[in-house]
């Protein structure tokens, strides 16, 4: 199956695109669109995380659940919204933790595209959603695909840092070879976690690992 995705990812995932489940997934999305259903993010941004962070550029993986379901928010990167859109509460809490952890001013703007370009792979486990219906595409095959993405990173790269926030993301730990990669876990940054995310210091800890691996640290602020 011909899938429009960044070349390096297309190469390492080529077997996945030919599996029956992926064909069913694509057919389902076409049917939704033909039925007049609005899907987020827009088609060209579904694989935005892959486009901005090629396979061999990945240094850090942050796993989200599914895209934002309100108009103008989803841009194909976990936790990120386009600049000009009010940052959602979880993203604001991420910014607060960065400020406290690194002793820097509170980050402004909602887009994390600059992280992606530095090697932070912002992967949602589910890559599409119906407008106004959270988790509506959680059972159409995306998780089979993104689980394969995580396994491929684990098997074919070394020294990555995986940030698993909340129980859903923590469930992906079993896909990661922890003898080859570093995994940091914390509560979800959502306000529903009642501040349990704060104090995890994942941003400074990640940079410490990257420097130890001989890689440039991420400019988080």
pLDDT in tens, 100-118: 999 999 999 999 999 999 9
Distance in angstroms (rounded) separating the CA atoms of residues 147 and 142: 8
Is a pLDDT exceeding 70 seen at residue 159?
yes
What are the structure tokens assigned to 177, written together?
Answer: 């070879």
Contact between residue 67 and residue 127 where contact means Cβ atoms under 8 Å apart: yes
Mean pLDDT (the chain) is 97
The count of C-alpha atoms lying within 13 angstroms of the C-alpha of 138, restricted to the half-sphere facing its C-beta, is: 11
Report the pLDDT averaged over residues 201-212: 98
* 15 classed as catalytic: no
Distance CA 5, CA 144 (A): 17
Catalytic residue among 66, 100, 101, 177: 66
| pTM tops 0.85, yes or no | yes
Residue 1, pLDDT > 70, answer no
């Amino acid at each position: 199956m011909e899938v429009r995705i960044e070349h390096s990812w297309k190469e390492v995932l080529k077997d996945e695109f030919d599996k029956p489940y992926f064909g069913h997934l694509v057919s389902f999305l076409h049917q939704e669109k033909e039925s007049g259903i609005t899907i987020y993010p827009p088609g060209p941004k579904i694989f935005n995380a892959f486009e901005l962070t090629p396979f061999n550029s990945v240094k850090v993986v942050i796993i989200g659940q599914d895209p934002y379901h309100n108009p103008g928010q989803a841009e194909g990167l976990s936790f990120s919204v386009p600049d000009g859109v009010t940052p959602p509460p979880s993203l604001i809490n991420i910014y607060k933790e960065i400020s406290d952890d690194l002793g820097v001013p509170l980050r402004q703007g909602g887009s994390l595209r600059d992280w992606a370009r530095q090697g932070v792979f912002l992967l949602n486990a589910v890559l599409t959603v119906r407008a106004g219906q959270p988790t509506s595409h959680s059972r159409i095959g995306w998780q089979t695909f993104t689980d394969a993405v995580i396994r491929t990173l684990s098997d074919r790269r070394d020294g990555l840092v995986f940030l698993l926030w909340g129980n859903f993301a923590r469930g992906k730990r079993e896909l990661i070879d922890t003898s080859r990669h570093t995994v940091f876990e914390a509560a979800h940054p959502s306000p529903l976690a009642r501040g349990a995310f704060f104090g995890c210091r994942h941003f400074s800890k990640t940079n410490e690992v990257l420097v130890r691996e001989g890689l440039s640290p991420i400019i988080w602020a």
